[in-house]
Amino acid sequence: MDTLMQSGAFALITALLVACTASLLLLSSQFRKELEAELIVPGCRRFGLVGRSNMTDQYSPEHNGENLDSSATCKIKALFIYPVKSCKPVEIEHNDVILTGLRYDRQFCFAQLKTEEVGKEEGDLSVNTEWAHNWKFITQRNVPRLSQVDIQVWVPDPSSPSYSPDAEWVKSKGCLACSFAFTPEWSWNLEGLKTAFSLLKTKLAQRDIRAEPRLTFKLPIAPDEKRSIKYNREVMKIWKCSPTAINVTSEIPPDTLAKLKYFLGVSNPLALFMADPLNHRQVFRNAPTAEEAGYQPGVGFADAVSCLRS
């Protein structure tokens, strides 16, 4: 009798575990579909490689160079662009080369407002009483967590069922979808329970116990005239240059911007700039001369000309 009861209890526990597992898998699939649907930009398709990478076999013995002979030729293994300077890259299969380099590459850059003495270079310890507030670019060198800001490029796709010439992001020739992980503090109230549910939903959708909810904001690739009215052109210092760039911080909701500052660990005012298409930053390092090219090459926010001369 005891054996029969134990067998029945074991069968019941097993059935409950199977039912719970099946329910969790169904919820996980449903949450994943909802998450993927939220990420889709109406009227656009995602640009670049999705779900695969040319770098998956980079550590394969055939690529270690040990068996190369003098007749071996080099080839490009993978291509990456960095639409927002120092943030996560986008791997691509092919791309267009435009005046500033690869299309979409380093056209946006974060900057923080710095108070600096006028007319002084870094390392100059002389006393000066004149001060100025300047926007100065930031990179992973001084803000490492920029590497954790994810970037997706979305471009108009006339074959998309949701395509319309008047769609918000179609009019802007596409957008960048930028996201970062953020889990707010929660407590035993209604908002806290919503946060807890959002956290659980994210972990189930990604099937990863470490997964966190992500906050997303979008940036227009080529804003139309109506959208551009709210932008300002301001001087932004990048290395020793001080080009005029377009401040597009207004595209980030204030609450999201505050959370992004916290995520990055930046205490100074934070801004996001777009390269001014009418004012390319002229560079000379790695670049042909104006006499050779017929003009002085310029870039967006790249450190130098991205294609070396052979």
Task: Look up tokens 């918000």; give the residue.
Answer: 168
pLDDT of residue 308: 44
Q: Is the separation of the CB atoms in 217 and 248 below 8 Å?
A: no
Rounded to two decimals, the pTM is 0.83
Q: What pLDDT score was predicted for residue 261? A: 97
Between helix 2-39 and helix 190-206 the angle, nearest 10°, is 90
pLDDT one digit per residue (tens) for the chain, 310 residues: 566 566 666 666 776 676 666 666 666 666 566 666 667 899 999 999 998 899 888 888 777 767 667 677 777 889 999 999 999 999 999 888 888 889 999 999 999 998 877 766 666 666 666 777 899 999 999 999 999 999 999 999 999 999 999 999 999 999 999 999 988 777 777 777 777 777 767 776 677 778 788 899 999 999 998 899 999 999 999 988 889 999 999 999 999 999 999 999 999 999 999 999 888 888 877 777 888 878 888 888 988 766 544 3
What was the pLDDT predicted at 30? 66
E strand or H helix at 131: strand 131-137
Residue 302 near residue 100, CB atoms below 8 Å: yes
Alpha-carbon dihedral of residues 158, 163, 167, 172, nearest 10 degrees? Answer: -30
Q: What is the 3-state secondary structure (H, E, C) of 227-296?
A: HHCCCEEEEEEECCECCEEEECHHHCCHHHHHHHHHHHCCCCCEEEEECCCCCCEECCCCCCCHHHHCCC
